[in-house]
């Protein structure tokens, strides 16, 4: 978790994107498969959340569209914040079997990010798909990155805000 929080911090200090980091690891060995940081603004792509980038990089590195396919190692996504609605959907289809989260969605909301609605029981929904979720890992450290981004004038880029 501290590794992905450091990715988020580096992204903020380098001014290369938002305050989010993620990585995919092989569960059994801890081997790093891929990394991702939020690059929504520099890529001009609303899909370029840290989790989406890390998952896309994992698919590319392992050369398979299903990260949970037979013969693949069991993989986990470690992310500095709980997934937004889009990333939640991607997790279900990616094939990862474990998700580890730092900050909560409400922590991202607190500085103005729109996480979009997802099921209130989203953890249970993932569990039904044999994906386990661990939350609040180094949460305070992840929140510190959000606060630093906000204090530094980092842009809060929401396509739609509630009226």
Residue 161's pLDDT is what?
55
CB 101 within 8 A of CB 79: yes
For the stretch 109-119, pLDDT in tens is: 999 998 888 99
For the stretch 136-155, pLDDT in tens is: 999 999 999 999 999 999 98
Task: Give the active site residue among 26, 41, 51, 162.
Answer: 51
**Could you say which DSSP state residue 81 is in?**
E
For the stretch 57-113, pLDDT in tens is: 999 999 999 999 999 999 999 999 999 999 999 999 999 999 999 999 999 999 999
Active site residue 51: yes
Distance, CA of 53 to CA of 59 (rounded, Å): 10
If we measure between CA atoms, which residue out of 94, 95, 87, 137 comes closest to residue 113?
A: 87
Cross-strand bridge partners of residue 128 = none
């Amino acid at each position: 978790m501290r590794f992905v929080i450091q990715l988020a911090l580096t992204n903020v200090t380098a001014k290369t994107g938002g305050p989010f980091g993620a990585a995919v690891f092989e569960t059994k060995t801890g081997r790093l498969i891929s990394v991702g940081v939020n690059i929504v603004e520099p890529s001009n792509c609303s899909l370029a959340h840290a989790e989406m980038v890390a998952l896309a990089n994992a698919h590319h590195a392992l050369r398979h569209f299903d990260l949970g396919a037979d013969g693949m190692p069991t993989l986990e996504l470690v992310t500095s914040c709980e997934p937004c609605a889009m990333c939640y959907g991607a997790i279900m289809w990616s094939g990862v079997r474990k998700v580890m989260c730092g900050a909560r969605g409400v922590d991202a909301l607190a500085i103005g990010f729109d996480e979009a609605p997802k099921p209130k029981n989203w953890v249970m929904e993932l569990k039904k798909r044999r994906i386990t979720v661990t939350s609040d890992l180094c949460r305070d450290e992840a929140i510190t990155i959000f606060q630093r981004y906000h204090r530094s004038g980092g842009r809060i880029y929401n396509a739609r805000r509630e009226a």
